[in-house]
Amino acid sequence: MKRLNGDLVSGAVLVALGVFVITEARGWNYMSEEGPGPGFFPLWYGIAMVVLSLVLVLRSATKAAPGARTDWGAIGRALLAWAAFAGCVALMQPLGFLISLALLTLFVVAVMYGRPLKIAVAAAVGNAIGFYLVFVLALGLSLPAGPLGF
Amino acid sequence: MEALLGLGQGFAVALQPMNLFWCFIGVFLGTVIGVLPGLGPAATIAMLLPLTFNMPPTSAVIMLAGIYYGAKYGGSTTAILLNVPGESASVVTCLDGYQMARKGRGGAALGIAAISSFVAGTVGVVGLMLLAPPLAKFALTFSSPEYFALMSLGLAMVVLLAGASLIKALLAMLVGLWIASMGIDLFSDSARFTFGTTHLLDGIDFVIVAIGVFALGEVLGNMEKRGEGTLLPVPKGLRNLLPSWEELKACRFAFVNGSVIGFIIGVLPGAGSTIASFISYGVEKAVSKHPEKFGTGAPEGVAAPEGANNSETGGSLVPLLTLGIPGSATTAILLAAFILWGLRPGPLMIQDNPELFWGLVASMYVGNVMLLVLNLPLIPLFAQILKIREYLLYPIIFGISLVGVYTVSNSLFDCALLAGFGLLGYLMRRLDYPSAPLILGLVLGDAMERALRQSLMMSSGDLSILVSRPISAVMLFLAVALLCLPLFRKFNSWRIKAIEENG
């Protein structure tokens, strides 16, 4: 698949979200004696969401696919960076914030930007120390600690 | 007279050493991120917001506002020196500013930008000071239906000018409303959209969404390309920053034009500083005796947009502080900050928190002077910031985002949500969904639902209450009319052209 019709896919996702919002909203009180209930507002924006995203889907399905090719290489890089960030979040529980951040820095500098390992290690250690000095020592914030106590 | 008394009180607040310090930190940080392309004031304020929770609200507001207007100063520096607009509002400044720099008048162009920013920034603050109190008094007559109509109108304007596709802007806003309604309902005790987890009973904190969509989304988008830390040559010979007398004389009208247009555009929601700078450049060119000089290094082509860009700040604070309606993503984040500190911007804000309102106004005078003093001698230094390699910068932004979100409620679940919203922000960027409507829908969602439901309580369920009251009827009519405008082909092509030029 060289081209991706982003409008079609995102529109379909939003149709699904709108349908979900409407079904949930129908389970709550729409109107009570005191006035509108919790289901009132969501029902209406849910309906608006479904209508608008259907228009988007129909338009993009009838129109020819957008001319520009989808640059999968660029998207891949961004998603790789995102995966690294998500991994860092997952590691914060077992390893603590500073080590996770150092690993993330190492990955970004060495893998994503292809710098020599020496520079990457220096950046990782420097970044972690910098965060420790500014946020833990100077601002006194408590960040998730790892097995080594930091 | 009232304004003068208030201003005196404000200066007493703003000149306290601690507030001076925070004002300085704010404008300094603002200048730095203004110089850095790809990191905007919205993202920075969102990231730093959690760190201000322990500060006195007045100091925190002074600092965050300093970032807001400081970024506009910084953005023009790189526009002039390197043809790289640090913010979208500086795009027009590139046209003549960079040409001046190429002709060896870079120092003068920076000087003109700083002077114009100072003059117009001050005019904007004066406008804010004069317009806000009477507007607040008028808004005191508003009741729930008027508030609902006002928020609808504000959202309609933001949606209209947010992106080429009106449908996508509306959908982004609706998703914002959806996120806003997560958690325990305001009136009843039903839990909505919590997916069965107790983590979501209080809803999703605004900071998480703002940092995810703005800071992370922006960085992930930038990381698509492996830019080799684009080292740009910084022109030398910036010692002489004083513009010549002829250049200043050419800018006379531009100072006024930029100040007035910027302020008016700022008061209107939706059209931010980018549009203000384009319009004032257009006006300047239209009335000029030698329009052919524009684009080749005309000093008034720098002065007008830079002035408009900075005067817009004061204007945009008018609806924010008096009505509680933000007109842009950055002011939406400022609104969220106020709410987090338990201050509800609205018609009563000036009465109830005079030291905060007037302290902020006075601090903006002080901040403008600081920026002038800070910028003129330090411009060559600030230009060096561009030499920071991006692979060093991004991990730092990742780290600050995580710290910011974690400190909100010491929750790793929030950090996981942050990752999710970062992905959302990136995908929205990639698929051309504007992010400002989402943030505005999120910030206004609760208040809007409350206003709508209270209106219908007043009328025992009769929707006609929204149109039977004159003020609310007019505002709702305008909102609908605005959203119908793009249906007219001629207007729509004009609208899309305006948005794309703003790119």
DSSP string, B314-372: HHHHHHHHHH----SHHHHHHHHHHHHTT---STTHHHH-HHHHHHHHHHHHHHHHHHH
What is the Cα–Cα distance from A150 to B446, expressed in whole angstroms?
39
Choose from A8, A9, A10 for mutation: most chain B CBs within 10 A.
Answer: A10
Choose from B144, B398, B413, B465 for mutation: most chain A CBs within 10 A.
Answer: B398
Question: Do residue A10 and residue B427 have CB atoms under 8 angstroms apart?
Answer: yes
In a domain, B238, yes or no: no
Structure tokens belonging to residue B446:
């609760």
Decide: B149 and B476 in contact? Cβ < 8 Å. yes
Q: What pLDDT, on a 0 to 100 scale, did the predictor assign at position A63?
A: 72
Predicted TM-score (pTM) of this structure: 0.83
Mean pLDDT for A50-63 is 89
What is the Cα–Cα distance from A102 to A89, expressed in whole angstroms?
12
Q: What pLDDT, on a 0 to 100 scale, did the predictor assign at position B228?
A: 52
Decide: B428 and B422 in contact? Cβ < 8 Å. no
pLDDT in tens, B469-493: 998 999 999 999 888 888 777 777 7
Q: What pLDDT, on a 0 to 100 scale, did the predictor assign at position B220?
A: 92
Neighbouring C-beta atoms of residue B451, cutoff 10 Å: 24
Q: What pLDDT, on a 0 to 100 scale, did the predictor assign at position B229?
A: 47
Q: Which among B392, B407, B452 is the nearest to A41, CB-wise?
A: B452
What is chain B's pLDDT, residue by residue, as a tens digit (503 residues)?
677 888 888 888 889 999 999 999 999 888 888 777 667 778 888 888 887 888 888 899 899 989 888 888 877 877 787 776 766 677 788 888 888 887 878 788 888 888 888 888 888 888 888 898 888 888 888 888 998 998 898 888 888 877 778 899 999 999 999 999 998 887 777 888 888 888 888 888 888 998 898 889 888 988 888 765 454 555 555 556 678 888 888 888 888 888 998 898 888 876 677 778 888 888 888 888 888 888 888 888 889 998 998 888 888 889 898 888 887 888 888 888 888 888 888 888 888 888 888 888 888 888 888 888 877 677 677 767 767 778 888 898 899 889 888 888 888 999 999 999 999 999 998 998 988 889 888 888 888 998 899 898 888 878 888 888 998 999 999 999 888 888 777 777 777 777 666 54
What is the Cα–Cα distance from B49 to B61, expressed in whole angstroms?
10
Question: Do residue A108 and residue B391 have CB atoms under 8 angstroms apart?
Answer: yes
Q: How far is CA A112 from CA A109, B221, B343, B392, B394, in A?
A: 6, 14, 43, 12, 11
Question: Do residue A55 and residue B167 have CB atoms under 8 angstroms apart?
Answer: yes
Q: For residue B184, what is the nearest residue in chain A, using CA coordinates? A: A38
Question: Do residue A82 and residue B415 have CB atoms under 8 angstroms apart?
Answer: no
In a domain, B239, yes or no: no
In a domain, B236, yes or no: no
Dihedral-angle region of residue B229 (phi above 0 means left; psi in -120 to 50 means alpha; beta otherwise): left
- CA–CA min distance A131, chain B (Å): 8
Q: Which among B226, B407, B432 is the nearest to A141, CB-wise?
A: B407
DSSP-derived 3-state class of residue B184:
strand
Name the DSSP letter for residue B270.
Answer: S
What is the Cα–Cα distance from B96 to B418, expressed in whole angstroms?
40
Select, from the ranges A68-72, A120-124, B381-385, B466-470, the one with the highest average predicted confidence (pLDDT).
A120-124
Structure tokens belonging to residue B121:
């920034």
- CA–CA min distance A100, chain B (Å): 10
In a domain, B331, yes or no: yes
CA dihedral angle for residue B40, residue B46, residue B48, residue B52, rounded to 10 degrees: 140
β-sheet bridge partners, residue A36: A31
Question: Tokens 């949500």 identify what position?
Answer: B417
Question: Tokens 């919790």 identify what position?
Answer: A38
CA dihedral angle for residue B189, residue B194, residue B195, residue B197, rounded to 10 degrees: -90
Per-residue pLDDT at A25 exceeds 50 = yes
Decide: B266 and B276 in contact? Cβ < 8 Å. yes
- CA–CA min distance B425, chain A (Å): 11
Query: Which chain B residues in 375-434 lie under 8 Å from chain A, judged by CB atoms?
Result: 390-392, 394-396, 398-399, 402-403, 406-407, 410, 412, 415-416, 418-419, 422-423, 426-427, 430-433
Q: What share of chain B is helix, strand, coil (3-state, %, to 5)?
A: 75, 0, 20
Structure tokens belonging to residue A113:
């930007």
Q: Which among A42, A85, A114 is the nearest to B192, CB-wise?
A: A42
- CA–CA min distance A148, chain B (Å): 19
Q: How far is CA B173 from CA A26, B147, B177, B407, in A?
A: 21, 18, 6, 27
Show the CA angle centred on residue B28, arms to residues B23 and B34, nearest 5°: 125
User: Considering chain B, what is the average pLDDT of its residues?
Assistant: 84
In a domain, B240, yes or no: no
Cβ contacts of B442 on chain A, cutoff 8 Å: none
Question: Do residue B423 and residue A35 have CB atoms under 8 angstroms apart?
Answer: no
In a domain, B350, yes or no: yes
Cβ contacts of B422 on chain A, cutoff 8 Å: 82, 85
Q: State how many domains chain B has.
A: 1
Structure tokens belonging to residue B164:
């080429």
Cβ contacts of B402 on chain A, cutoff 8 Å: 88-89, 92, 97, 101
DSSP-derived 3-state class of residue B192:
strand
In a domain, B427, yes or no: yes
Domain that holds residue B159: 2-231+249-502
Q: Is B489 exposed, middle or buried (0-12, 13-18, 19+ CB in 10 A)?
A: exposed
Q: Does A68 touch chain B (CB under 8 A)?
A: no
DSSP letter string, A33-100: TTEE-TTHHHHHHHHHHHHHHHHHHHHHHHSPPPSSPP-HHHHHHHHHHHHHHHHHHHHHHHH-HHHH
Nearest to B155 by CA among B476, B486, B498: B476
Question: Do residue A45 and residue B177 have CB atoms under 8 angstroms apart?
Answer: yes
Phi, psi of A39 (to 5 degrees): -85, -10
In a domain, B408, yes or no: yes
